[in-house]
Amino acid sequence: LQPANLQVMGRSALYAAATTLSCLLLGYPLAYFIAFHGGRYRSQLLVLVVLPFWTSYLIRTFAWMTLLQTEGFLNFVLLKLHLVAQPLTLLNTPVAVILGLTYGFLPFATLPIYVSLEHQDRSLVEAANDLGASPWEAFWKVVFPLSLPGVISGSLITFVPAMGDFVSPEILGGPETQLIGNLIQQQFLALFNWPMGSALSL
């Protein structure tokens, strides 16, 4: 419970919460589209969602490092579109770490939400429309409440591994973006202080 360790734990919780929120904001519309508008292409769309898992998480994170570097693809596009006057410093920032975590854990949030949406009774939405509800009201009063179990499951499945992740902060971040996973890794593999590493893990 030393102040330095507590600061890293707080940062880990903050980054994990931001990652979870980002995954929900991106994953819910994606899951909704696949469940309600995927049609006969639903299976192919689900394969595309899980396709990144066919590649190592480490390799995918290194790919993001290439995209976000000063002379990387993202800065190239921003400069070509004249959205920025000079390349942005994206690597070694909290934004880069949260972006990497969001990309890594997006399927964890999307799939549980998709399952809860896919099993919903479509006649409930039709009933809401017959009773005068607009599409937006039908979504907020029928679809979204029924999908809350998937939202909660997706949030937990995303938050827990995001808080303990050490690959994205190690590759995309810097000393100021160190998370609890990096601290534990250092105790075990660099300082060989296994008792401290065990305590931090607990």
Confidence of residue 89 (pLDDT cuts 50, 70, 90): confident
- What pTM does this model have? 0.88
Neighbours of 123 (CB within 10 A): 9
Given a cut of 90, is residue 14 above it in pLDDT?
yes
Question: What confidence score (pLDDT) does residue 135 get?
Answer: 87
Those residues with Cβ within 8 angstroms of residue 52's Cβ, 6 or more apart along the chain or in another chain: 60, 103, 107
Helix (H, G, I), strand (E, B) or coil at 56: coil
**Which comes out higher in pLDDT, residue 151 or 120?**
151
How far apart, in whole angstroms, are the C-alpha atoms of residue 61 and residue 168? 6
| pLDDT score of 46 | 92
Span of 25-29, 72-76, 99-103 with lowest mean pLDDT = 72-76
Residue-level pLDDT at 103: 93
Residue 151 has pLDDT above 90, yes or no: yes
Which residue matches tokens 């980002």? 22
Do 62 and 171 form a contact (C-beta atoms < 8 A)?
yes
- Interval 32-59: pLDDT, tens: 999 999 888 999 999 999 998 888 888 9
What is the CB neighbour count within 10 angstroms for residue 75? 19
Among the listed residues 96, 117, 142, 100, the one whose alpha carbon sits nearest the alpha carbon of residue 32: 117
Percent pLDDT > 90 in the chain is 60
Query: Which residue blocks in 81-121 are alpha helix, DSSP H?
Result: 94-118
Contact 32, 125 (CB under 8 A): no
d(CA 17, CA 116): 22
First to last CA, the chain: 12
Q: How many CB atoms lie within 10 A of CB 164?
A: 14
Give the CA angle between residues 110, 12, 62 to the nearest 5°. Answer: 65
